[in-house]
Structure 1
Amino acid sequence: MTTLTDPPKESFRLSMLINDTRYRSLTFQAIAAVLLALAIWYLGNNLIQNLRAAGLNISLSFLGDPAGYDINQRLVEYDSQSTHARAALVGILNTLLVAFLACITATVFGVIAGVLRLSNNWLVSKLMAFYVEIFRNIPVLIWIIIIFTIMTAALPGPRAFRGDNATSSMLFDLFAFTNRGIYIPRPVFESGFFAATSLNWVLVLAVLAGSWFATRRVNAAATVKQEQTGQRPNTLWTVLAIWFVPFAALMFLMGLTFDVPALKGFNFAGGIKIGGPLIALWFALSIYTGAFIAENVRAGIQAVSKGQTEAASALGLRPNRVMNLVVLPQALRVIIPPLISQYLNITKNSSLAIAVGYADITATLGGITLNQTGRAIECVLLLMLFYLTASLLISMAMNVYNASVKLKER
């Protein structure tokens, strides 16, 4: 009887790193990694030696020096005696603000235009096609300048609101639209029923969580009734009441008042000023990127099989319900990946804000601070680090959402 045994294992030899396909790819990757590390070390060492020869050194100590310049649009306290680090923080917040607002409005414009472009109404579809082709084929910088110029030329100055001879008036005595920006009421919480700030946040989060839970219960009850009767009840007003009534009551108990803008001297005082550069940049990025998102939405809708639409219509669903419940949820799997790129483009295109004087991170850290301190390398490296971090965070968040809506295979 013959006994079968495993063949003896071959001993490892250095030649196997090249000749053996099991190790060859790893060998080439290791060589490439070493060469890349050496190249980075050479360039970095060369940079340090050249800076040392010129009497310069890389240091971030300048961030603690007084900035010496003012910033009109800001979300945190800042004055000319604040540090360059504080000025950079103001620029970062301004960049994130315009990017967040533009992402939301561009998505709204894109979804509406993408859906209407597939409309059976010839005039509506052609108008949306005209919007897409016009706005996406002209550089966004030109749109920023055009919108800013129209705002400063068409809207009245603050003096037009003064006295009995005023040629303009505030909207509902609350909002003022001027060529310097838009002034809106500012919410102010007085020392009222709830005084502790931490308690205020806890109550607000509790109200929002309760509204979310109640909304899910209402939608679940509507789904049960739809399964029993075949018709889904309208829950819009109920959901709106669940969200807004408790929140409005909580704001009243917390002593919510509004600081209304008023004309004092040569300008408006009080309220919140939304500067003209912010509005121009926000609107230009929205309509420009919205044209690209519209094409993504149109492609996603057309990627859904017509049989899905026909089957939903055969069940008696109205066209708007078919679009909201059947087509768009399936189209998201095609829309989301290119949508991530559009959000990244909005964030990076916000650096064009310097064209209209909006103080984003490029204008503060990469502009005034760089010119005042002469620390070009440090400022540019910090600027690159910010945009890299912001882009990676946006990609990570959108990829997580994309993974939640993608088709789950068995």
Structure 2
Amino acid sequence: MAVESIGSPQHAKIAPWNDPVIRGWVFQAVVVGLVGFLAWFLVTNTVENLARQKIASGYAYLSHEAGFEIGDSMISYSPANTYARAILVGMLNTLKVAGLGIIFATILGTLIGVGRLSPNWLLAKICEGYVEAFRNVPLLLWLFLFYKMISEAFPGPRQALNVLNALFLSNRGLYFPVPAADPIHPWMGLGLLAGIAGAVVLHRWGKQRQAATGKPFPSIWAGAALIVGLPILIWLAGGAPHHMSWPELKGFNFVGGTVIQPEFTALLLGLVLYTSAFIAEIVRSGILALNKGQSEAAAALGLSRAQAMRLVLLPQALRLIVPPMTSQYLNITKNSSLAIAIGYPDLVASVNVTINQTGQAIENVLIIMVAYLSVSLSISAFMNWYNKRIALRER
């Protein structure tokens, strides 16, 4: 066995400035220091300029009375409430339209993407035309078009289209009856959540059972029965309250019931149709990336085209679809800020009114930035978790 000498290259002492580990830590420390110094300079300079101009700073204004109306609110709100509650209302409206947009765009985009691969020439060309039309026109133009069509296609409230004295459609929106508030409704909501949790557990058990025995279990129908059945059972146990709040024309508009406003409809329609065109291409490319032998093997097993797509192709394509799909979900959330162009009271609209009344633009812009950053990071974290969960694991 050869003995290495003390002066061999393996035992040569490395100078600190040549050590890649030390050098890496030094470079990172310098970058962090520069970023910290830049942040300190910007903050102190901004505070000094605000003080020089005698402009108030801080977030004390959030507890002051807002004094402005919000046309669409998921929670109780009046102009006597605070700016903090007005901003919360706008945030909830943003989350509502973004959440519904993600769900509907995913469903429609998947159907269009699969339709583009159909052997039916006419269906494939219709889906291709849909994708090219919506993907190559700016979203803002679609929002203007949909809002103009909805607001001008229907008459005013006094001449509203009446369906069985229950549904009233006008340029102010679609009014329809809803159940009057009752103490049993929160319990029904808990029943709905319990049904969703039960459906998830049932679906997992069904997959394990099928893997062990080869016998499929109708987990989709059983889960749907749980989700719908539990709230109905709670409603029946609570005495089946059936009092309704009906819309009635009083003055220049309807009161009672609830309304789907044209601004919300135009925004949701624009987000869904526009984003689904991109999702369709993601789904199509994910399926085409699979080996052709997968579809041939499914056909050899006697599976129909729909069964092969649902049981063989789409589950494998998900591993390719999920990462770019995350970007589209983030785009839906951020593009919802275009709601201000058609008058929908989202987060940006509420904060803009707050800026106009308080003059504290920096604080309010920071609120918008933090809100969108938090929602985007939450969506990314969930999608990353789901992507890891469906990833192939080496044995």
TM-score by length of 2: 0.89
Please list every run of 5 or more consecutive structure 2 residues that lacks an aligned counterpart in the other structure: none
- Aligned residues: percent identity? 41
Q: Is the 8 A contact 2:114 2:283 kept in 1?
A: yes
Per the alignment, in what secondary structure is the counterpart of residue 407 of structure 1? coil
- 5 Å-filtered alignment, 1:244-323, equals 244-254=228-238, 255-257=240-242, 258-323=244-309
For residues 224 and 169 of structure 1, do their structure 2 counterparts lie closer, same or farther at Cα, with a shift above 3 Å needed?
A: farther
Amino acid at match of 1:181: G
Match of 1:399 in 2: 384
For residues 236 and 377 of structure 1, do their structure 2 counterparts lie closer, same or farther at Cα, with a shift above 3 Å needed?
A: closer
**CA-to-aligned-CA distance 1:281-305 (integer Å, 9 cap, x gap):** 0110110011111111111111111
**CA-to-aligned-CA distance 1:77-123 (integer Å, 9 cap, x gap):** 11111111111011101111111111111111110111101111111
For residues 49 and 30 of structure 1, do their structure 2 counterparts lie closer, same or farther at Cα, with a shift above 3 Å needed?
A: same
Match of 1:187 in 2: 179
Q: Is the 8 A contact 2:195 2:226 kept in 1?
A: no
Cα distance in 2, alignment partners of residues 235 and 382 from structure 1: 43
Cα distance in 1, alignment partners of residues 230 and 259 from structure 2: 28
Which residue of the other structure, out of 344, 356, 359, is the alignment partner of 1:374? 359
TM-score by length of 1: 0.86
For residues 245 and 39 of structure 1, do their structure 2 counterparts lie closer, same or farther at Cα, with a shift above 3 Å needed?
A: closer
Q: 1:214 Cα deviation (Å)? A: 5.3
Q: 1:54 Cα deviation (Å)? A: 1.9
Match of 2:39 in 1: 40
Say which is worse superposed, 213-222 or 279-288, in terms of deviation.
Answer: 213-222
Cα distance in 2, alignment partners of residues 251 and 26 from structure 1: 63
Amino acid at match of 1:65: H
Please list every run of 5 or more consecutive structure 1 residues that lacks an aligned counterpart in the other structure: 162-167
Q: 1:52 Cα deviation (Å)? A: 2.2
Q: 1:219 Cα deviation (Å)? A: 6.7
**CA-to-aligned-CA distance 1:120-177 (integer Å, 9 cap, x gap):** 111111111111111111110110010000001112322224xxxxxx322x554332
For residues 256 and 310 of structure 1, do their structure 2 counterparts lie closer, same or farther at Cα, with a shift above 3 Å needed?
A: farther
Q: 1:184 Cα deviation (Å)? A: 2.8
Match of 2:319 in 1: 333
- 5 Å-filtered alignment, 1:160-239, equals 160-161=159-160, 168-170=161-163, 173-190=165-182, 203-210=191-198, 213=201, 227=214
Tell me how large the CA RMSD over aligned residues is. Answer: 2.9
Q: Is the 8 A contact 2:203 2:219 kept in 1?
A: no
Cα distance in 2, alignment partners of residues 248 and 21 from structure 1: 66
Per the alignment, in what secondary structure is the counterpart of residue 179 of structure 2? strand
For residues 24 and 206 of structure 1, do their structure 2 counterparts lie closer, same or farther at Cα, with a shift above 3 Å needed?
A: closer
For residues 49 and 210 of structure 1, do their structure 2 counterparts lie closer, same or farther at Cα, with a shift above 3 Å needed?
A: closer
For residues 125 and 262 of structure 1, do their structure 2 counterparts lie closer, same or farther at Cα, with a shift above 3 Å needed?
A: same
Amino acid at match of 1:176: F
Aligned pair count reads 392
